[in-house]
A and B are shown apart, each in its own frame.
Chain A
């Protein structure tokens, strides 16, 4: 596709359940980022993947959060044992590693924990 694609667009789940969020970056982009945007707030960095390098997980808020990127393309963000404070929009972005290139965002997944 032409842009970053995320699924699902909306997810409602009960507290304590696990959720998986998917991101398909722009074709050819080797860098992939996950951010979280809580209601009325700015974007908070979660995790970064660059090619085959070890990911930067410094922004993950707890060990309930994890992410993987298979084959250098699609990424999955997993939240285990969800809590109400996990409710937010989870945004994925990708960029081209060739020089200082801007990040392009997907539409995000709106996660609501009941």
Chain B
């Protein structure tokens, strides 16, 4: 089955700096890669996702890049703010068209701390 590795496990940055979190996956058939932000005691919230037919997607300060050949994808947060502090999870799944299977395999998470 799919295996997702996520690094680093903790990341500390100063406000305004950029943060990068990296994930690798094992199943070359995976084609959907979401990123979730989870604040303490709250539900995971989808912040951005990318499908395997594109290499990069951007939404304001957040971007995700995907390298299918190397089987890795990364989350980039620019101009970090204290409210970006949370645990971030990457995930991978196979959405087989009409069957839309979608079982997510998650990385272990990255605790991001943004210092004012």
CB distance A42 to B109 under 8 Å? yes
- In the assembly, what is the distance between CA of A43 and CA of B90, in Å? 10
List the B residue with the shortest CB-CB distance to A107. B43
Question: Chain B's nearest CB lies how many Å from the CB of A61?
Answer: 15
CB distance A95 to B102 under 8 Å? yes
CB distance B44 to A42 under 8 Å? no
CB distance B104 to A103 under 8 Å? yes
CB-CB < 8 A to B105: which residues of A? 45
Partner of B34, one of A35, A91, A99, A103: A103
- In the assembly, what is the distance between CA of A101 and CA of B109, in Å? 22
- State how many residues of chain B have any CB contact under 8 Å with chain A: 26
CB distance B108 to A42 under 8 Å? yes
Partner of A100, one of B6, B44, B51, B109: B51
- In the assembly, what is the distance between CA of A91 and CA of B91, in Å? 15
CB-CB < 8 A to A91: which residues of B? 43-44
CB of B89 within 8 A of chain A? yes
CB-CB < 8 A to B42: which residues of A? 107
List the B residue with the shortest CB-CB distance to A48. B103
- In the assembly, what is the distance between CA of A36 and CA of B51, in Å? 25
Question: Chain B's nearest CB lies how many Å from the CB of A107?
Answer: 5
CB distance A42 to B107 under 8 Å? yes
- In the assembly, what is the distance between CA of A35 and CA of B100, in Å? 18
CB distance A43 to B89 under 8 Å? yes
The list of the 6 closest CB pairs from A to B, nearest first, reads A100-B95, A42-B106, A43-B106, A105-B43, A42-B108, A107-B43
B residues contacting A by CB (< 8 A) are 6, 31-32, 34, 36, 42-46, 49, 51, 89, 91, 95, 99-109
